[in-house]
Structure 1
Amino acid sequence: MRLPPLIAVRFFEATARHASVRRAAEELHVTPGAVSQQVRKLEDFLGCALFERQPRGLALTAAGREYQTACAEGLAVIGHATTRLVSTRRRQVVVVSCTPGFAVQWLVPRLHGFLQQHPDMDVHVGSTNRAVDLAAEGVHFAVRHGQGRYAGLQSEVLVADDLVPVCSPRLLAPRRTARVADITSARLLHDEHRGDWRLWCEAHGVAGVDCEGGVVFAHSNAAIEAAVAGRGFALVRRALVQQELEARELVSVHCKPLATPLAYHLVYRPEALIDPALRRFHAWIVAQGSAGQSSLSI
């Protein structure tokens, strides 16, 4: 049995179905030039033209119409067989790297919904503050805190709300309202972004507070846990403590939030979205970020 180059067959079938090189390229996530090259390769192999190149587009030749029918049927059979084997033998895995605080406070609480929607997929979360090499370490997506400039990588803003001081209501008893005057040096809870309290004090004209005072934690989730326990004030993004605020485990200080040029960004290699499973996760996590910002603005 003599078989043609199967990748060329796939590119031809998509081009014939769309009657367009450009639309086939969009479906296959390659360039139009790559599609044209594979179609010409198949025509050379078969020794006949499959398309008539017309001024307004492509039209199948008689041989092309006959061959398209056979190719579509063959690819459908292969596709169904592949789906059955893959679904029974392995699960699709998405590898995500993020800081420990972001993992605990934002990502993991939301993941249950994604996994319910996609029971054939697993998400592996690696928590670290160091910069990871996505290609070398097999990481599909990273969430990083910064200005979003990463050479050779795609970057999208995920969480960008302003910073607010929060504390436990127990720290305020018998009052229930947190005031700027309640914040003292000894009550400061710092996370890995230690300079945030200094910026907040400067923005609000707060004097007499030693911004180096208080307790320093390696991760923001530890600072938030300390605030819930009534140990002091943590300066955090509201999106990371939305559940605690709704449950009244934390209350925010009545003051203007601190705007910052930094944000949590979703970072990935441009070719990552070729994979349908990774595209599903990307669409989900971006939607979660947008929904969170919308709920905070209400």
Structure 2
Amino acid sequence: MPKPPLESLRFFEAAARRLSVKLAAEELHVTPGAVSQQLRKLEDCLGQPLFERHARGLTLNTAGRDYLAACQRALAEIDRATAHLIAARRVILLSCTPSFGAQWLIPRLQDFLRAHPRIDVHVSTGNRVVDLATENIHFAVRHGLGDYPGLSVSKLLDDELVPVCAPTLPARLDALSGERLLHDEHRGDWRLWSRAAGLNTLDCEQGVVCVDSNAAIEAALAGRGYALARRSLLQIELAAGRLRQLPAPPLPSALAYYLIHRPDTVRDPEMGIFKQWLLEQAAATQNKSPPSGGLET
């Protein structure tokens, strides 16, 4: 027995309810010709007409009236089932800084969403420290020393700073000059790096100060100067050749990116899946084996 296409049934339901090809087309945002084509396809599939066609519109015949009632029940059931599935999607809320979100998390997140279509991840970016308990945030990524009492803590990424530039600029130390430096809000980073690299003549008081490290990286990508940025956030740009690292040692930092959450959060299976994915992605970034449970404090 042939099965009519679902699209034809929806076109039929709209035309039968409105008794007008034109009004059905307006409702469905298609042309009247498209509606007529779907109606003919359905009638051909069923082997009998469903309408009596007149100059002023349509009239359902007996078969059409019976079929409309059955289609409306079936379509309503499909709509209810769809709404139930959508409502059943698990939403995970994560807070992080704009630079971590834009440079590291978002480029990788689409892979997770494709692998887990029933999980939605809502990312809130900002530099404000959120309260996981009172604001109902499931996870947060913090940049600090890892001391977060009462919370579960897993180190994600170390925080070496490396000098980078776009391919349009020479990736050489002798090309560095004060006016070409791109600073983030921590203006002292270039001073610390130049001292560690032995470039004591570099005037680190010059250059453009950006609102945050993400803005500094964007300026570097546009060829506006040299940025000092966290290597862990630049992996994709460096691998793609959109940025080049200057031949100089990185500036180590005691700071790192940490994933934190309330201890009971990962009792939810979907939350546990998302946490493990984050740890695996971070381990791949730094070529390490992912921790089984993270650093618990």
- TM-score w.r.t. the length of structure 1 is 0.66
1:241 — aligned with what? 234
Stretch of structure 1 that moved more, 111-120 or 196-205 = 196-205
Q: Is the 8 A contact 2:235 2:285 kept in 1?
A: no
The answer (yes or no) to whether the contact 1:161–1:293 under 8 Å persists in 2 is: no
| Contact 1:92 1:120 (C-alpha < 8 Å) held by counterparts | yes
Choose from 265, 269, 277 the match for 2:258: 265
Give the gaps of 5 or more residues in structure 2.
Answer: 1-81, 289-297
Per-residue deviation, residues 124-168 of structure 1 (Å, max 9, x unmatched): 000001111111111111111111111211221111152110001
Identity %: 53
Q: Which residue is equivalent to 2:95?
A: 97
Q: Distance in 2 between matches of 1:251 and 1:85?
A: 48
Matching of residue 169 in structure 1 with residue 174 in structure 2: no
Q: How does 1:209-224 map to 2 (within 5 A)?
A: 209-224=202-217
One of 231, 242, 248 as aligned partner of 1:255: 248
Query: Is 1:152 the equivalent of 2:150?
Result: yes
Structure 1: 4+ residue segments shifted above 6 A: none
Question: Which residue in 2 is equivalent to 1:74?
Answer: none
Measured after TM superposition, the shift of residue 86 of structure 1 is 6.4
User: Out of 274, 277, 281, which is 1:288 matched to?
Assistant: 281
What's the CA shift string for 1:64-122, capped at 9, x where partnerless?
A: xxxxxxxxxxxxxxxxxxxx996453310110000001100000000011101110010
| CA distance in structure 1 between the aligned counterparts of 2:186 and 2:141, rounded to whole angstroms | 16
Higher radius of gyration, 1 or 2: 2
- Could you say which residue in structure 1 is the equivalent of 2:190? 197
Provide the secondary structure at the position in 1 that maps to 2:258: strand
Q: Which amino acid letter does the alignment assign opposite residue 179 of structure 1?
A: R
Equivalent position amino acid for 2:233 in 1: L
Q: Secondary structure at the match of 2:134?
A: coil
Structure 2 residue 270 is the aligned partner of structure 1 residue 277: yes
Rounded to whole Å, the distance in 1 between the matches of 2:205 and 2:154 is 32
Q: 1:114, 1:146 → 2: CA distance? A: 26
Q: Aligned AA for 2:131? A: D
Listed as ranges, the gaps of 5+ residues in structure 1 are 1-83, 173-177
Q: In structure 2, do the counterparts of structure 1 residues 232 and 160 end up closer, same or farther at CA, with 3 Å as the change threshold?
A: same
Deviation at 1:208, TM superposition (A): 2.4
Aligned length: 208
> Is the contact between residue 93 and residue 121 of structure 2 (CA under 8 Å) also seen in structure 1?
yes
* 1:261 Cα offset (Å): 0.8
